[in-house]
Amino acid sequence: MLLKTSLRSFFAHKGRMALSLIAVVLSVAFVSGTLVFSNTATSTFSKLFAATASDISVQPPKPADDEEQQPGDKPATVPAPLVQQVASVPGVKTAIGQVMVGNAVLVNPATNKLVGPTTGAPTLVGNWTDTPRNPVRITSGHVPQNSGELVLDADTAKKARLGVGDKVRVDNASGQHPYTIVGIATFTTTNPGAALAFLDTATAQQVLLGEQAYTSVEAFGDGSRSDDRLKADALAELGGGLQVKTAAEQKDENTKAIGSGLNFMKYAMLGFAGISLIVGGFLIINTFSMLVAQRTREIGLLRAIGGSRRQVNGSVLVEALILGVLGSTLGVAVGLGVAVGLIKLMNAIGMDLRASDLEIGPDVFVAGYAVGVLITLVAAWIPARRASRIAPMAALRDHGTPAEARSNLVRTVLGVLLTAGGGGLLVLAGTADGAATGGEYLGLGLLLTLIGFVVLGPLLATAVIKVLGALLPALFGPSGKLAQRNAMRNPRRTGATAAALMIGLALVIGSSVFSSSAVRSASAQIDRSVGVDYIVSGGRTPVTAEMMDAVRRTPGIDHVTTQENLLRTKVQLPGGQSARTDLTAVPATFFGADFHPTVTSGAVDSVGRGSLGIGQAFAEDHGLKVGDRVTVDYGKGRTQTLPVGVVLQKGGLLGDGAFVGLDTLTQVVPAAEQPPVWTFFAKAAPGADVARTLTALQDALRQYPQLTVKDQAGYKELVQSQVDTLLYLIYGLVGLSITVAVLGVVNTLALSVVERTREIGLLRAIGLSRRQLRRMIRLESVVIAVFGAVLGTGLGLAWGVTAQRVLRDQGLGTLAVPVTTIAVTLVSSVVIGLVAALVPAFRAGRMNVLAAIATD
């Protein structure tokens, strides 16, 4: 009986459920599509690694803690004779020495453009080897046979429009090396998006390693022993020190490395999908609340003929369950389309995934149905509970039930407590000494203020909409007055509708404040701290002496300044403890005319005289001050005791690492073993035209397309573009929740039109024209949307300002409020209101007056 009643009720109101169904479908599709894409990408790479991994791989020893590998260092190698040693291990059929490095770039000398991916995937250059599980095979030309020949992978060749006989150049730290393409190799499995180039073994060793060695030895068994047994025998044969990994270990290691990048994207998208689910929850609450209100007499009759509260409650929840199951089913199906779209997007930026290889695991269905059904049932529980409390005598009353004073009191107290608590946490976050502590307060404060505003929304609706709609009667006459009163007549419904928009717009405003502050802070620091005119970055390859000489020879350049980064260097403190910090070696002239850091104590020029410069955060964390002596451990037994000469203020452009003079470093670390230069700086000569010199500088470095050459204005634009890219991604993801919120406004208006059918008929009967009626509904929609935008703007500003204060010592020292974005958001809310009201207003205008009045 209960199920039969629920089914009849659901299908009787299926049109009114449609937009709620769409909200569930969109949210579940985003969740399931993200999971399918993530599973497909991970599975694709796992299959690639499993199909191409050797039975055992013998690799160089892991660097000791005090000898951490630095980016750009010469690749770690194993000696060439190791191939014969591995081949002699019992059970090994073939042992092959492999050279493969990722610190080189490919250049088309005809166009001076980079060959290969520019979106993050690596460019790998190595030696050609014939292995039992080669990931590529020659499909055109032949393998490299001498020092002037190179094989290029087919995907890269196609994108760069290169073929057999064309010229290509390999640039790395040792210089420029020209080759002729003699072969094209096609992947036998999925191409992960990397560019691959192969040289003959002797050339690869000389050009890429500078010695007769290998980066690893790959061994393939004869089938008589398991991989684990081969590994154990190899370790026994070769002795300790070397790393030996089985095929399974290689696959897991590589899959984990790929997965870490994919997981960031996966969890970010799932987070925004969660926001959309919450927004969809408000839509569902409104839908069922209005349906319950419209069925008050029906529910009262059910209670009058013997229906229990439990049965009424269950009836509404069964309808929600049907909605959730149907929406989740459609959402999972639509999610497959979302996954295909994501795969095409990744293919467009260089990754090679096939839509035909979609990996649809049980987690997709579990997550899809769990979130879709659960959010629908939770959202419907509130109106279901309200429906179960309708007394049987309500059948004798008209639609609607009076608001409960006790409920409003509880809502007021709870909302004020949550909002006040969240606001207090935001204040604590903004005044916290550490970014980590401030971040914890910010996260909790953000959550509490959001919930607090949602709870207080219905109470705020009456007062705020009275103010927002104050001009409507004067501007639009009776239509404006009716629109204002309609928006105020059911504060709970208005609050829930506006809350859906509030969440999305708060994220937009908060992100805009954060990004604007980041750009403004970076620009201010560049203006304040940078004395050089040009910044030259090496990108994927270290800067060579030839590049710096080309800059020095450029007319209008006064001098060049470099820096060498030693990551995570160990420092022995006066008390005997040790700590790690990033250490940068700079020439004596670095601080002064070229860079002007803000100093907390000491003298910045002391770095050039043999002292150590440290960041304020490092000094405070370890109780250091100017004059203290610390021991810097550069690895390989090379140490140096230096006095602290200067403490640099937190949040500066140069970061919170440590600085040492280049001459000081050279006393203990030979120049040949010092880390490479990745970025260098140039200053224009006095009186030189900065813009004209920039053009000359770009011309001088044209043969090095891997370099990025910027003046200060260009560098600011680069920072702006990087922040904007992240911001637009957030806008795109938040757009889903705003779309669901717009559906909520449409649904609320559509159901309210049905609910007010008799009222609309009476208004038309006493003289309200169709045009005035449509205007009334549009204005009501606009007021609700603007109300949500005002709340969202207030929340977003609070979140953004607090985030800037939390990170004020991490480089975000300048607060910037994007007035234009706020204005656009408020105007957009008006447009959202107008668009959302189109269909409901049109339907209301077409009502037959007499039929509307006769509606029961």
How far apart (Å, rounded) are the C-alpha atoms in residues 553 and 696?
10
**∠ at Cα 184 (178, 189), nearest 5°?**
130
How far apart (Å, rounded) are the C-alpha atoms in residues 27 and 739?
11
Q: What is the pLDDT of residues 453-510, one digit of tens each?
A: 988 888 888 888 888 888 888 888 888 888 888 888 888 788 888 888 888 899 889 9
In the predicted structure, residue 695 carries a pLDDT above the cut 70: yes
For every residue of 791-815, DSSP letters joined together read: HHHHHHHHHHHHHHHHTGGGT--S-
In the predicted structure, residue 856 carries a pLDDT above the cut 60: no
Q: Assign 402 a pLDDT band (cuts: 50, 70, 90).
A: very low
Q: What is the pLDDT of residues 194-237, one digit of tens each?
A: 889 999 999 999 999 989 999 999 999 988 889 999 999 998 88
Closest CA to 752 of 744, 764, 742: 744
Lowest mean pLDDT, pick from 46-55, 62-71, 228-237: 62-71
Question: How would you classify residue 48: left for phi > 0, otherwise alpha for psi between -120 and 50, otherwise beta?
Answer: alpha
In the predicted structure, residue 589 carries a pLDDT above the cut 50: yes
How far apart (Å, rounded) are the C-alpha atoms in residues 111 and 57?
39
Residue 66 pLDDT: 44
Using DSSP's 3-state secondary structure scheme, residue 237 falls into helix
Closest CA to 215 of 127, 278, 332: 127
Phi, psi for residue 351 in degrees, rounded to 5: -85, 145
How far apart (Å, rounded) are the C-alpha atoms in residues 515 and 119?
22
Token pair of 57 as six digits: 């791989």
Residue 804 pLDDT: 92
Distances (CA, A) of 80 to 83, 100, 217, 391, 595: 6, 14, 9, 89, 46
In the predicted structure, residue 641 carries a pLDDT above the cut 90: yes
- The residues, any chain, with a CB within 8 Å of residue 831's CB and separated by 6 or more, are none
With DSSP H G I counted as helix, E B as strand and the rest as coil, what are the percentages for the chain, rounded to 5?
Answer: 60, 15, 25
How far apart (Å, rounded) are the C-alpha atoms in residues 737 and 709?
40
pTM above 0.85, yes or no: no
In the predicted structure, residue 399 carries a pLDDT above the cut 60: no
Q: What is the pLDDT of residues 97-107, one digit of tens each?
A: 999 998 889 99
Closest CA to 135 of 75, 239, 218: 218
Give just the sign of the alpha carbon dihedral 623, 626, 627, 630: positive
Token pair of 496 as six digits: 């829930």
Residue 585's DSSP bridge partners are 564, 660
The enclosing H or E element of 640 equals strand 638-648
Lowest mean pLDDT, pick from 325-334, 456-465, 758-767, 843-852: 843-852
How far apart (Å, rounded) are the C-alpha atoms in residues 42 and 262?
8
In the predicted structure, residue 428 carries a pLDDT above the cut 50: yes
Token pair of 652 as six digits: 């500066």
For every residue of 289-343, DSSP letters joined together read: HHHHHHTHHHHHHHHHTT--HHHHHHHHHHHHHHHHHHHHHHHHHHHHHHHHHHH
Amino acid residing at 597: P
For every residue of 178-201, DSSP letters joined together read: EEEEEEEEEESS---S-EEEEE-H
In the predicted structure, residue 72 carries a pLDDT above the cut 60: no
* For residues 322-349, average pLDDT: 85
Residue 308 pLDDT: 72
Name the burial class of residue 310, with classes exposed (0-12), middle (13-18) and buried (19+) by CB atoms within 10 angstroms of its CB.
exposed
Using DSSP's 3-state secondary structure scheme, residue 678 falls into strand
How far apart (Å, rounded) are the C-alpha atoms in residues 153 and 116?
10
Q: What is the pLDDT of residues 166-192, one digit of tens each?
A: 999 999 888 899 999 999 999 887 776
In the predicted structure, residue 2 carries a pLDDT above the cut 70: no
Token pair of 8 as six digits: 């009849």
Q: What percent of the chain has pLDDT over 90?
A: 33
In the predicted structure, residue 68 carries a pLDDT above the cut 80: no
How far apart (Å, rounded) are the C-alpha atoms in residues 635 and 638?
6
* For residues 142-154, average pLDDT: 94
Residue owning tokens 């319950």: 292
Question: How would you classify residue 220: left for phi > 0, otherwise alpha for psi between -120 and 50, otherwise beta?
Answer: beta
Distances (CA, A) of 76 to 9, 62, 242: 71, 9, 11
Token pair of 580 as six digits: 């790690």
Using DSSP's 3-state secondary structure scheme, residue 402 falls into coil
Q: What is the pLDDT of residues 770-798, one digit of tens each?
A: 898 889 989 988 998 899 999 999 999 99
Residue owning tokens 């001088």: 700
Q: What is the DSSP letter of 681?
A: E
Lowest mean pLDDT, pick from 65-74, 523-532, 558-567, 694-703: 65-74
Residue 86 pLDDT: 92
Q: How many CA atoms lie within 13 A of 595 on its CB side?
A: 27
Amino acid residing at 210: G
Average pLDDT score, the chain: 84
How far apart (Å, rounded) are the C-alpha atoms in residues 99 and 77?
9
Question: How would you classify residue 163: left for phi > 0, otherwise alpha for psi between -120 and 50, otherwise beta?
Answer: beta
